[in-house]
Structure formats: structure tokens, C-alpha cells
Amino acid sequence: MDEYRILAINPGSTSTKFAVYFNEECKLNKTLRHSIDDLSRYTNILQQFDYRKGMIIDSLVEEGFEVDRIKYIIGRGGLTYPLESGVYLVNNEMLLHASQGVYGQHASNLGPLIADYIANQIPGAQAFIADPVVTDEISDIARITGHPNFEKRSIFHALNQKATARFHAKKQGEIYEDMNLIVAHLGGGISVGAHQKGRVVDVNNGLDGDGPFSPERSGGLPTGQVIDWCFDSNMTKDEVRRMVVGEGGYVAYLKTNNAKEVEELAGRGDAQAKLIQDAMAYQIAKSIGQMAVVFDGVVDAILLTGGVAYNNYLTDYIRKKVQFIAEVFVYPGEDELEALAKNALRVAREEVVAQKYQPRYPKG
């Protein structure tokens, strides 16, 4: 059997994670932490490029890996323009859009940039991304918002949702593209997707505040009250955005984004912590119920994944609410590096063809 050497890269807000795989075997999995002091030297995400890619290369050398033998480098996809699920070759257009952060500034924008840089240093190497957060397979009817000035955006945990759905299908002896699945990623942000025969045809925007609230995001808020608040409070645009993303959910109610801490507080009898935790589970269950409508109620399974899915109380709460729709399976945690590596391996083994980045540009 041929041996394919893969480098997977996942830049996060305060860390850069990377892993080296030889086929399915993980040879190195490392998390490089970045302190506030480290990152305060840079005024934007793009300026962190040299710092982060240098740390990855130095670490690979220190660990004794022959970097020039790694031919597949795959990074987490950033906030470029929308595109369908799949594995994509990094090209100049993608690099431009990631550099610009056309859909927002996030450390994941560095994923294709770092992958491309390292691949260019290795003869015969190629750079890829897979299932980025802007993966967009939403149906036309789901895209309508209620006013032509606004269009629903697909920004969600596509990489982990897709990997979990494929894992579940394989475990059940089924094919992902033949199943109707509802997948809920439960983390710092929460996204609930309707996977119809391999396509996520509807999903809440887990970044901008759509759907259930989460440990640090507000979820959907009463529109009229938000309008009044914005005009009456004299808040800036950035302050309002932070209220929705970063300072909402658990942070707003309980002054922490640590879901484990809230779980422990609720378990010790803290009534407010229990109420807010229950409310989050209640909203997640309602979102799952909404997605069941997409399938006319014909759902093969409901999958709960992400770090918060380790909370058995919360997943049991959700299960009781939605098990009438379909059987509930819990796959706690996430391994985005493994998911990236598996996607690169599928390309190496010619099971899929890496696509060209041809995004769907927004209207106007």
C-alpha cells in the first residue's frame, strides 16, 4: 500500500493546531498556544501569518520530521466566499479572499495561507482546504429571510458536522449520501444542520447569532427589542456585534463561557445555572425539531457532537425532547485535524477529486 504523508493545520483564536498523518496513522498531534501578549503585537489576523507558520515549521523540524516528504498539506478553510462541501485546491483567488477576510476576520483565514506557503517550499506538494465554515449547500427556499435586503448565510461547523455524519453512516453500514440526518454541533457556537442525501440544505448561521444561544453567542434575539436597544443604548457597531458573538449566551447570563463550569454549578444546585443550561438545551431541541420539517419528518437519525456533547445531562435533556423524531446518537468532541487529514487522504487515494475554488458571490 502506498504511504501518503499529510500535514493538517487548524489555526484557532488562541492556538495553532497541526498534525502529521502517514495514511490513517497520526504520527504527531501538537497544539501551539498563543498568549494574549503574543498576539497583541499584531493589529489583525493577517499579520500573524509569519509568526504562526514559523512556529509550525520550527516544530516539525524539532520533532525530526522530513518536511520535504510531506506532499499533502491541508488547512482549515476560512471566511472566504461561500462554496459547496468538498476538498479544494488552494489557488490565488482563495488566497486573496482569505487575506481580505471577505466574510469576516477569524484565525481560520490563515489555514489556506499557511498550507499554500508550506506546499510551495516542497517540490511536488499541494495545498488544500476541506469543508470550510462557509460551506453553502442551502436550498433556495431556505435562503429566503423575509426581506429582499437580507439573505440567509451559511456559516457553520461544516468540517465536524460532515465528518460526524460520514462516521455515523459508515458505523451503521450505510452511505452518507443516502441518509437524512440532523446534526447538531454543540460548542462555543452551536449549529444545527439538515443533511439531506449528503447536502446540508438548511442550517442556522452559528456565527452571526441565528439559532440557539450557546456558551458565548446570543442566538436568535427578538428583532424589535434589538432595534430599540441599538438605537437607545448608543452602542457602536462593534459593541453590538460583541454582544451577539463573544459576550452572549452563558457569558451574558453567567459571566463564563466555560460549559463545564456551568454544568458543575447546575449539578451543585445553582438554580440560575440550571435554568440557563436547560434553556440552551431547550432551544437546541427546538432547532432540531425545525430541521425535521425539512425532511417531512422522515429522519434516519439525530447526531449530537462537539465539546458540549460530553455533558450527559444536557444530551439526555435534548434526547427526551426529540427522540420521537428519530433515534439520537451522541458523538462528543471533535477532531478537525483528523477530519482534514481524512479528506486529504481521500484525494491522495483518488476517491474524490479536489475541486477548483469557484465561490458563489453574494448579490450586489
Query: Residues 130-159: pLDDT tens digits?
Result: 999 999 999 999 999 999 999 898 989 999
Lowest pLDDT segment from 27-36, 291-300, 344-353:
27-36
Could you tell me the sign of the dihedral formed by the alpha carbons of 58, 63, 69, 73, in that order?
Answer: negative
Structural domain 160-333, CATH architecture: 2-Layer Sandwich (3.30)
CA atoms lying within 13 Å on the CB side of residue 135: 28
The DSSP letter of residue 133 is T
Alpha helices, H only, the chain: 36-39, 49-62, 92-100, 110-120, 140-143, 158-171, 223-233, 237-244, 249-254, 259-267, 271-294, 312-322, 336-348
pLDDT 10s digits, 6-22: 999 999 877 899 999 99
Q: Please state which of the four CATH numbers 3.30.420.40, 3.20.20.140, 1.10.3720.10, 1.20.140.10 is assigned to the domain occupying 5-137+337-348.
A: 3.30.420.40
The DSSP letter of residue 363 is P
**pLDDT confidence of residue 364:** 53
pLDDT at 270 over 80: yes
Write out the residue limits of the CATH 3.30.420.40 domain(s) in the chain: 5-137+337-348, 160-333
**What band does 234 get if pLDDT is binned at 50, 70 and 90?**
confident
Global pTM? 0.89
**pLDDT confidence of residue 363:** 62
**32 three-class SS:** strand
**pLDDT confidence of residue 351:** 94
Burial 316-333 (b: 16+ CB within 10 A, else e): ebbbebbeebbebbbbee
**What band does 39 get if pLDDT is binned at 50, 70 and 90?**
confident
How confident is the prediction for the chain on average, in pLDDT?
Answer: 93
Question: Nearest 5°: phi and psi at 210?
Answer: -85, 145
CA dihedral 53, 54, 55, 56 (to 10 degrees): 50
**pLDDT confidence of residue 75:** 97
Residues 277/263, Cβ–Cβ less than 8 Å: yes
Percent of the chain with pLDDT over 90: 80
pLDDT 10s digits, 100-131: 999 888 889 999 999 999 999 999 999 999 99
Q: What is the C-alpha to C-alpha distance for residues 33 and 107, in angstroms, rounded to an integer?
A: 13
pLDDT 10s digits, 315-355: 999 999 999 999 999 999 888 999 999 999 999 999 999 99
**What band does 209 get if pLDDT is binned at 50, 70 and 90?**
confident
